[in-house]
Structure 1
Amino acid sequence: MALLKWFGALLLLALAATGTAQASMLKPMQKPIQEPMQAGANELAQWPQWVFAPTSDYPDTHLYGLGFGASKSAARQHALAEVVLQISTDVQVLQRSVMARAKSNAAVTVRDDFEQRSAIEALGVKVESIEEQRAAALQSPDGIEFAVLLAVPKEAIISSLHDQVRPFESLAFPYDDETAQLLWALQYRQQILDALRLERAMAALGGGQPMLRMQLEQLQRDVQSVWQVAGVRVIADRTLTPLVGGLSAQLPSAENDRLWVRLTQKKQTANKGNQFFERREVVVHVSPASTPTKVLQQQTLRAVGKGNSASQAEQDAEQQILDLLDRPLSVWLFQ
């Protein structure tokens, strides 16, 4: 009888232990970052399986990014970059085999507005409404490496993209004046191309604006019609030849010059010990070819070059001006 009681007690203890183990397995993960996983004496440390899960395992409502880094912050930035890559200029949603699945019944999703607001941008869209799905740390002989899985709702991205293209809904081509048409084309040509890419990105995410796309495509045709018949001549002395070449690449080259762009510059040099400096100002005037004294648009570009010699300082200042000119005209000429 005593033996049966002892056996019954042992059986109850075994069942209790089994129930406790199962309950612990079903308990949802409360924190996305766990203690670093360490390898035993005869084994290699390994990442959890979610790190290697295929993209197809994810719900289609979000874009996902998996990042690695020496710190959790660095891993987050890498993961955000992965998300940004999926909103590419060609609107190709990239598939990342290393992205992981965050099952709603296996883990508690940690929402995070990323207090500093991500500075990473793609096509002018800010990546916000970031959700941290999973995180882990791996201890290796080289130190601790972190992995973070982030998700961004497609709806949030579409909304941000729409905010960027909304001003183009009321943009209109000036049909009444040829000079105004050319100035308009110079100002908006690149912006219209960017807006079309934004709309295609929205469409790839399921939030396309067909009417807006038709309007943008018509505006693009209007720009192209001006580009084919109107020319812009850059006028400057020989010392500014490198700048003339860089600026001319952004301008229409038709033989019928409607606008002149004149470049003038001022330079100041100085040195302090073995350090040389050159301050350079380049003034850009836009005038009708028919009345060159009339200034339609004017901007001043400034740079301070430095180097171990006067020639190095001069080259540095010139390169800075070239970099400024290489930006879209809407960024610097029409501001």
Structure 2
Amino acid sequence: MRKKLTLVTLILVTNLSAQVQKLTTDFNAFRPNDLIVKQQVEFKDPGSKGKNLNWDFSILQPINEEYTLKYFIPDSMFMDTICGMEHRTRYYYYQKQDSLWAKGFENSTTLMNYIKPELRLKYPFTYGDTLFSYFEGEGEYSHTFPLHVKGYTRVEADAEGEIMLPKFEKVKKSLRVHTLRYYTETGKDSIEMILDTYAWYADGYRYPVFESVKTNLIKNKVKEGEQVMDTTAFTTSFYYPPEKQVSTVDLPEQVTDDSNVNPIYNVFTEATYMPNPVVDNLLVSYKLTRNANVWFSLHNASGIPIRQTSPRITPEGFNSTEINMNQQIPGSYMLYVHVDDMMVKQVIIKK
């Protein structure tokens, strides 16, 4: 009888675990070349934290037109740095292994580099998980005024439940992540900022489907010889239409034959990747039509770089490079070939 009860308990625990929504590197890390659609809508209060909650986002009041958020690799020499661009601002992230770090941002008026990066997520991340980090940055405003920012970030998966989206689409497995950022910025004026962001992740989608943001901006000013505080509060929400965020996390990336359009093939020719599928070592053999700076980077299915060769000036003619893959788990990988400022990719299967 005790054995039967134990078996039933194990089955129940297994089934409950299978229902838990969690963020993972493979399914939720930022991915180069992804294009996300966002729309600012009337603010929705995030409500309480906890489990088995219900959120109704079926009726939304748009405030502005849809716009896009694009992720890309800004510099092929640093494949672990990914950039998200929206509203003419570039946000830089360092993404490696199980962690996502913010590195800074820039636009036409402001440049900010974090000398102490900000931890945004650590995978896997599930209900009840929390993160805490300090960050610090230096930059400039209008190429004239120096800026300094210093603060902390607390991230918590504080709620899970069901979401009702527009068109009455119900998503049963959803996780809400609450990010609290507090920082001070000194420059021309002194500013304190408290930024509360609530992001809802739905099962089957890489990026959030909804966000609510609360911002408190506190400015310290000198008025009539006295120090005064001016506080301004903002609230807004963003909807990410799921139909414009089609998940392809279960599919290997499709590689098209772009040999007729990619200029790299004028230099990098007669390439072979053997063996493929590979067990231990992958040998890349190729011919260069001229001297070139060549290097390789290996990425997992989420686009996270896991191995990289050193760039080196390679002579014209036949060359080869061996890439060790014996420590990688079986699955699909993407090998990026870098030749000067050009790049091409090749799917590699690990057995």
| TM-score in same-fold range (> 0.5) | no
Whichever structure has more strand as a proportion of its residues is 2
Whichever structure has more helix as a proportion of its residues is 1
Answer 1 or 2: higher relative contact order, Cα 8 Å, separation at least 6. Answer: 2
